[in-house]
Amino acid sequence: MISFMGYLYYKKEKISMDIPNKINLDIFIPILVFYAISEKLPSITLLGTFSVGAVIVVLGSGLISYPVAKILRISPRTFLPSMMFNNSINLGLPLALFAFGEEAMAMAIALSLVQVIGQFTIAVVMYGGEAKVINILKNPVIISTVLGLLFNYYNFHLPELFLIPIKMLSQITIPLILFALGVRLASIEFSHWRIGLIGAILCPLSGVIMALIAILFFDYTTLQINLIILFGALPPAVINSIMAEKYGHDASVVSSVVAVGNLFSLIVIPIVFYFLFLYA
């Protein structure tokens, strides 16, 4: 509903979400990450092998997608990032929160962190840019994650005077993410819809396959199993189209893959939830 409102509002006003998105990425999302890890995550020991599972899903999706790109005669540098790096923040965090609660969202951040690091290193290089370690270390999401982990590990808690406004600011994040997602979907291209449709099917399929493989290797809890399968089923990240445009690398193709993939997720995600709750 919130994304649909963003979609309709863009169609009427043709607004730009650049400034709200920057504020969200620089302030609200880091605050949410810090709050969820420091206050809602039972123990950071839950995140160790869980993060490794996310790495398996990301890299494994790339391995599965590589021969498909070759068969379709699409540059792997164009196709693979969208298959590897999914909407774990824009869509994954809201879904984890609404379906499984605040503890689940805190754990889902471990999966998103793998995506963030990979997006600003591997994906940047694949699109033709230059990955710099200093940019990762300066990323507000990374900084807030480290602070959250330290607070959780040493059992530090902010006084209520600070905790209440932090919680209030963290609650801005998810609605703004969903609204911005609707705006973005209303503005990206469908010119290469056939490639987009292949990617829309391959992205969640390869992700779920690799998630199931990760589950075989690690002794995950039921909640972790649900989250990593959901993580694998997510559509391509919207930021892929932004990066492709920034580095001048087949932006129209990437935008179509992202657009069709996110629309196709309206079918895929309910199916995934059906099976998750069926076998819960």
Residue 230, number of CB atoms within 10 A of its CB: 26
Contact 23, 198 (CB under 8 A): no
Q: At what angle do helices 222-233 and 251-278 cross, to 10 degrees?
A: 150
Contact 85, 58 (CB under 8 A): yes
In one-letter notation, the amino acid at residue 266 is L
Q: 121-151 as b/e, with b when 16 or more CB fall inside 10 Å?
A: bbbbebbebeeeeeeeeebbbbebbebbbeb
The upper half-sphere exposure of residue 172, i.e. CA atoms within 13 Å in the direction of its Cβ, equals 15
What are residue 236's phi and psi, to 5 degrees? -60, 145
Nearest to 46 by CA among 149, 197, 161, 198: 149
Which pLDDT value is given to residue 189? 61
SS3 track for 52-72: HHHHHHHHHHHHHHHHHHHHH
Nearest to 82 by CA among 272, 249, 209: 249
Residue 226, number of CB atoms within 10 A of its CB: 21
Q: How many domains does one find in the chain? A: 1
Which pLDDT value is given to residue 187? 67
Which pLDDT value is given to residue 204? 95
Give the chain's end-to-end CA distance (angstroms, integer).
Answer: 27
Helix spans in 73-159 (H): 76-84, 93-100, 102-118, 124-126, 133-137, 140-153
**In terms of residue numbers, what domain contains 208?**
2-278
pTM of the model: 0.83
In one-letter notation, the amino acid at residue 241 is S
Question: Which pLDDT tens digit goes with each residue over 187-238?
Answer: 666 667 788 899 999 999 999 999 999 999 998 999 999 999 999 999 998 7
- Give the CATH number for residue 144: 1.20.1530.20
Which pLDDT value is given to residue 198? 92
What are residue 32's phi and psi, to 5 degrees? -60, -45
Question: Which pLDDT tens digit goes with each residue over 248-276?
Answer: 777 778 878 888 888 888 899 999 999 99
Q: Which residues of the chain carry a pLDDT beneath 70?
A: 131, 187-191, 279-280
Which pLDDT value is given to residue 92? 87
Residue 86's beta-bridge partner residues?
Answer: 236
| 3-class DSSP assignment, residue 236 | strand
Positive or negative, the Cα torsion across 181, 183, 188, 193?
positive
Mean pLDDT of all residues belonging to the chain? 85
